[in-house]
Chains A and B, each alone.
Chain A
Amino acid sequence: GAGVSQSPSNKVTEKGKDVELRCDPISGHTALYWYRQRLGQGLEFLIYFQGNSAPDKSGLPSDRFSAERTGESVSTLTIQRTQQEDSAVYLCASSSTYREQYFGPGTRLTVT
């Protein structure tokens, strides 16, 4: 596609429910990143996939957060047992090897 796409664009869920957020990177991009943007704050790194290497999970805030990526395609970020502090915009980015990151429009998650 022309750019990074994310779905859904908005998600409202009740506290304690699980959610899945999807990211479709730019075709051919080997690297994929997830970031979280809380209201009024900068972006926090969550997880990074590079090709077939083991992902860098150092930014995941708790074991309720996990992500998968199949090859060099779609990635899914899963949050289990959501909490109100998980409310944020979740941004996905992709890049070619050692090039700049291109960001998707984000998924706005609201936990009620």
Chain B
Amino acid sequence: AQSVTQLGSHVSVSEGALVLLRCNYSSSVPPYLFWYVQYPNQGLQLLLKYTTGATLVKGINGFEAEFKKSETSFHLTKPSAHMSDAAEYFCAVSTEYGNKLVFGAGTILRVKS
């Protein structure tokens, strides 16, 4: 079975500061990993994905994540937070690209001015 743990249900950063959202996964087979963002009253939008190949993946809006197999982690980072980044972020794993996703509980990011 697969599972995802997101450390910190709420993260608060100042505008311009580094954003770091943590995600650890459990999978018995090579995982496919995703980060989604959800703005209030909207559906989920894909930020970035890791399937195979390069372990550092870049996504939209300046976000990136690094797949670390030894640490079973896929943390999301952004060098400089913007007010518009305030949203809820979900990490997800699947065993096959396009198969059902297992989601973490989510992290709400607050950006302070």
Contact = CB atoms under 8 A, between A and B. Distances in A.
Interface of A: 4, 31, 33, 35, 40-45, 48, 56, 59, 91, 93, 95-106
Contact of A98 (B4, B46, B98, B104): B98
Given A45-B100, A99-B98, A103-B44, 14 more contacts: A4-B43, A33-B101, A35-B103, A40-B105, A45-B102, A59-B100, A91-B43, A93-B44, A98-B97, A98-B98, A99-B97, A101-B98, A105-B41, A106-B43
Given A42-B105, A100-B49, A105 B43 contact: yes
A-B pairs, top 8 by smallest CB distance, nearest first, are: A98-B98, A42-B103, A103-B43, A103-B44, A43-B103, A42-B105, A105-B43, A45-B100
Interface of B: 4, 6, 34, 36, 41-46, 49, 90, 92, 96-106
A31 to B, nearest CB: 6
Contacts, number: 58
B14 to A, nearest CB: 25
A48 to B, nearest CB: 5
A48 B103 contact: no
A101 B49 CA distance: 11
Nearest to A106: B43
